[in-house]
């Protein structure tokens, strides 16, 4: 199975080629990197364009895709590996779920029938309390609507799991589509058309579908308007379950009763519950629900349930979902069904899916190399902290303690070879002809499993990513780095890559995650994941000044669409934690590359005639450090080569914590003195600024 990614590496190319003249010129870049580059662009004027320009110009978005990045392409390759691994295996859970998703003929024959029982349940509720209990029942089976229920570690102690009430879910991805009148005119019309089409497919008359769509869109717009008025940051207020259910009898009381949150052994009336958003949402949403007619809330729930299930019903429902996605995100054609179904399998049965992927892709050499890279990055992060002149000794000591307590989950769950039932934790009789029933059962069991964690100790060894995710994560409440095997592939990493390629690739990504422990949010949590002050006032003041520098800098970055027209600007306040991590990750990884290179040179120096060079994990190329350093920076930039529709960019600007890829790259290198030196950029270059924003 590993042949797929081996072929991908061969396709990318690992020979070396010249990169043209100019500031970016070097004796050689790996072919796989050079193919993406546009060396007609001066790297000192637009480093992102230099590193990714040819790829951007030649790449077309594939079917069912509104954004294509190195991360999404890596995940698609991983999904192909998983598909080949499970297709036709007959495995009773993974195989059955995948087969039921791929059986579009059965889905078309069934039409709305798989969800008819739920629709009947909604319509048979005759009071608002009864309707909201049905809403809670649906929440327990996978529909987050007016209220979301999750279980997470308590921020105060970081040792105990708590029930958490979170933000409501709405259909459209950006709140401004609801609250901005001009945007609502366009996107609201699309939402209305979508709702009406779903209701018609569910068997409502044209008049009833028209009215139902109007009511559903009106309610959803009111919900989004409430959310838009709330504080941006979580408030994390706590109340007992009984207090919440009594104070908000419809929104919380009826819904949590319908979800049967107290039917297990871990939740009772005295259980402390975290309200993530402001209590003001509960107050206003309770008032909204109480003001509605029962029939209107029924219409809204019917629409929300149909929308949540559209991908798992007949082709007509799937087409309706695709039609609105065309408008919301810019899809040009539907996503391949196999990819949708593999994604479902991965999300629904992550541990089982991870096992098949690991069995197909196991590579001890790669994992050992990644571990050594992470170890070097930790050492370099330690040295970065130790060398910050603006940190006082007390804060520096606390920061180093936090780094020393970091937990690392690398590759995959160590329990990957446990029994099927132990891995899936889903006691469902999955059938190849019952997709919606399969999903309902899995979601409900997962919901009940989560409730069983309330009040229990946090499991720091629990994986929140699957082995095939092309992603990495820092978890503040666990002080934990998670780096799945899905990242152990080009363009981020390969055992045959040079040190410069690997440290510029996966190294900057790991450095990014390590820096999150010390960004404007992560710094509020101590070595044990507790929300507890550990900075002195002076150090905190220095940090905030440097943070403001970055925030101001990134807010000046203008974002252009495909036609070159300005579509917005980066919100430096929204993206600040990721901007800190991008800048810190680049700095830490570059230090790590230099230190690892020095260790290798010292080792080679003592080896007579260098006979043992081939024993090292890395290929050591005698191209000069200057060239290696250029490769490092280009590898960093190419992590973020991304093609996206204008709608995706607009969504990102208004709701995503990351700056668009061009500015993730250019912003970081602008603040890097090493970049300016390596590429010998004139002081007048666009990538050179005199007042650099430096934190880590």
Q: How confident is the model at residue 428 (pLDDT cuts 50, 70, 90)?
A: confident
CA dihedral 85, 90, 92, 94 (to 10 degrees): 30
Tokens representing residue 622 in the block: 């005698």
The predicted model gives 675-684 an average pLDDT of 95
Using the predicted structure, report yes or no on whether residue 538 has a pLDDT greater than 70: yes
DSSP string for 312-361: GS-HHHHHHHHHHHHHHT--SSPPPHHHHHHHHHHHHSHHHHHHHHHHHH
461 vs 50, which has greater pLDDT?
50
- Bridge partners (DSSP) listed for residue 29: 17
Rounded to whole angstroms, what are the CA distances from 475 to 443, 525, 552, 592, 633? 24, 10, 27, 22, 27
Using the predicted structure, report yes or no on whether residue 620 has a pLDDT greater than 60: no
- Cα separation, 687 vs 559, in Å, equals 16
CB-neighbour burial class of residue 563 (10 A; exposed 0-12, middle 13-18, buried 19+): exposed
Pairing of the two strands 161-166 and 272-275: parallel
Q: What pLDDT, on the 0 to 100 scale, is given for residue 464? A: 87
The predicted model gives 581-606 an average pLDDT of 88
Chain centre distance of CA 622? 38
Strand residue runs (E) in 187-259 = 237-240
Residue 194 three-state SS: helix
- Cα separation, 562 vs 648, in Å, equals 11
Percent of the chain having pLDDT more than 70?
91
Q: What pLDDT, on the 0 to 100 scale, is given for residue 568? A: 93
- Model confidence over 429-439: pLDDT tens digits? 899 889 999 99
- Cα separation, 30 vs 18, in Å, equals 9
Chain centre distance of CA 140? 23
Q: Name the region of 457 (left: φ>0; alpha: ψ -120 to 50; beta: rest).
A: beta
Q: What pLDDT, on the 0 to 100 scale, is given for residue 278? A: 77
Domains and CATH numbers, the chain: 112-312 (1.10.1380.10), 364-413+463-678 (3.40.390.10)
Lowest-pLDDT choice from 77-81, 233-237, 561-565: 233-237
- Cα separation, 119 vs 299, in Å, equals 10
Tokens representing residue 614 in the block: 């081939």
Using the predicted structure, report yes or no on whether residue 22 has a pLDDT greater than 90: no
Q: How confident is the model at residue 124 (pLDDT cuts 50, 70, 90)?
A: very high
Using the predicted structure, report yes or no on whether residue 284 has a pLDDT greater than 50: yes
Rounded to whole angstroms, what are the CA distances from 506 to 30, 72, 524? 16, 15, 26
Which residues have C-beta within 8 Å of that of residue 616, sequence separation ≥ 6? Answer: 600, 603
Beta carbons of 592 and 377 less than 8 angstroms apart: yes
Beta carbons of 188 and 344 less than 8 angstroms apart: no
Residue 562 three-state SS: coil
Residue 544 three-state SS: helix
pTM: 0.87
- Model confidence over 631-659: pLDDT tens digits? 999 999 999 999 999 989 988 998 899 99
- Bridge partners (DSSP) listed for residue 526: none
Chain centre distance of CA 364? 27
Tell me how many degrees the CA angle 484-489-492 measures, rounded to the nearest 5: 90
Closest CA to 624 of 603, 587, 597, 596: 597
Q: What pLDDT, on the 0 to 100 scale, is given for residue 643? A: 95
């Amino acid at each position: 199975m590993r042949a797929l990614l081996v072929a991908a590496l061969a396709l990318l190319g690992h020979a070396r080629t010249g990169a043209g003249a100019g500031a970016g010129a070097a004796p050689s870049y790996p072919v796989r990197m050079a193919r993406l580059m546009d060396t007609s662009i001066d790297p000192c004027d637009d480093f992102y364009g230099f590193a990714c320009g040819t790829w951007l110009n030649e790449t077309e978005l594939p079917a069912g895709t509104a954004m294509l990045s190195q991360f999404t392409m890596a995940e698609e390759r991983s999904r192909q590996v998983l598909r080949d691994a499970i297709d036709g295996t007959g495995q009773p859970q993974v195989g059955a779920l995948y087969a039921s998703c791929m059986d579009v003929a059965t889905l078309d024959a069934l039409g709305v029938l798989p969800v008819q029982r739920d629709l009947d349940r909604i319509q048979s509720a005759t009071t608002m309390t009864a309707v909201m209990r049905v809403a809670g029942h649906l929440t327990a089976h996978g529909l987050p609507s007016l209220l979301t229920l999750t279980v997470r570690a308590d921020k105060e102690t970081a040792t105990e799991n708590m029930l958490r009430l979170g933000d409501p879910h709405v259909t459209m991805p950006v709140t401004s589509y609801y609250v901005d009148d001009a945007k609502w005119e366009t996107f609201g019309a699309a939402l209305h058309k979508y709702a009406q089409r779903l209701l018609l497919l569910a068997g409502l008359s044209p008049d009833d579908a028209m009215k139902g769509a109007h009511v559903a869109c009106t309610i959803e717009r009111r919900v989004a308007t409430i959310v838009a008025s709330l504080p941006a940051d979580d408030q994390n207020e706590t109340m007992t379950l009984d207090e919440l259910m009594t104070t908000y009898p419809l929104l919380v009381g009826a819904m949590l009763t319908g979800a049967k949150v107290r039917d297990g052994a871990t939740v009772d009336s005295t259980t402390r519950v975290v309200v993530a958003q402001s209590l003001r949402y509960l107050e206003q949403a309770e008032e909204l629900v109480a003001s509605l007619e029962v029939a209107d809330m029924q219409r809204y729930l019917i629409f929300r349930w149909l929308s949540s299930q559209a991908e798992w019903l007949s082709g007509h429902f799937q087409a309706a979902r695709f039609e609105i996605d065309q408008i919301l995100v810019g899809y040009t054609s539907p996503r391949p069904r196999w990819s949708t179904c593999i994604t479902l399998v991965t999300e629904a049965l992550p541990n089982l899916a991870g096992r098949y992927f690991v069995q197909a892709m196991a590579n001890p050499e790669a994992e050992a190399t990644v571990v050594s890279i992470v170890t070097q990055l930790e050492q370099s992060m330690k040295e970065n902290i130790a060398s910050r002149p603006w940190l006082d000794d007390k804060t520096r000591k606390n920061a180093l303690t936090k780094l020393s307590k970091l937990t690392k989950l690398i590759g995959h769950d160590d329990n990957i070879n446990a029994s099927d039932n132990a891995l899936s934790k889903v006691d469902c009789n999955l059938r190849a002809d019952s997709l919606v029933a399969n999903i309902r059962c899995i979601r409900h069991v997962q919901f009940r499993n989560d409730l069983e964690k309330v009040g229990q100790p946090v499991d720091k060894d629990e994986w929140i990513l699957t082995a095939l995710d092309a992603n990495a994560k820092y978890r503040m409440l666990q002080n934990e780095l998670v780096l799945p095997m899905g990242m152990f592939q080009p363009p981020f990493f390969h055992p045959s890559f040079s040190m410069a390629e690997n440290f510029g690739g996966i190294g900057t990504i790991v450095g990014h995650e390590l820096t999150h422990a010390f960004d404007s949010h992560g710094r509020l949590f101590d070595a044990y994941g507790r929300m507890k002050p550990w900075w002195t006032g002076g150090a905190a003041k220095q940090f905030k000044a440097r943070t403001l520098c970055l925030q101001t800098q990134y807010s000046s970055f203008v974002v252009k669409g495909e036609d070159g027209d300005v579509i917005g600007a980066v919100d430096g306040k929204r993206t600040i934690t990721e901007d800190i991590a991008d800048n810190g990750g680049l700095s830490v990884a570059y230090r790590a590359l230099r230190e690892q290179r020095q260790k290798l040179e010292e080792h080679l120096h003592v080896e007579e005639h260098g006979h043992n060079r081939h024993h090292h994990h890395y290929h050591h190329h005698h191209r000069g450090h200057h060239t290696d350093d250029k490769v490092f920076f280009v590898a960093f930039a190419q992590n973020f080569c991304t093609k996206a529709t204008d709608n995706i960019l607009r969504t990102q600007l208004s709701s995503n914590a990351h700056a668009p890829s061009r500015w993730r790259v250019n912003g970081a290198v602008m603040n890097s003195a090493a970049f300016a030196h390596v590429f010998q950029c004139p002081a007048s270059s666009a990538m050179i600024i005199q007042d650099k924003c430096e934190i880590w």
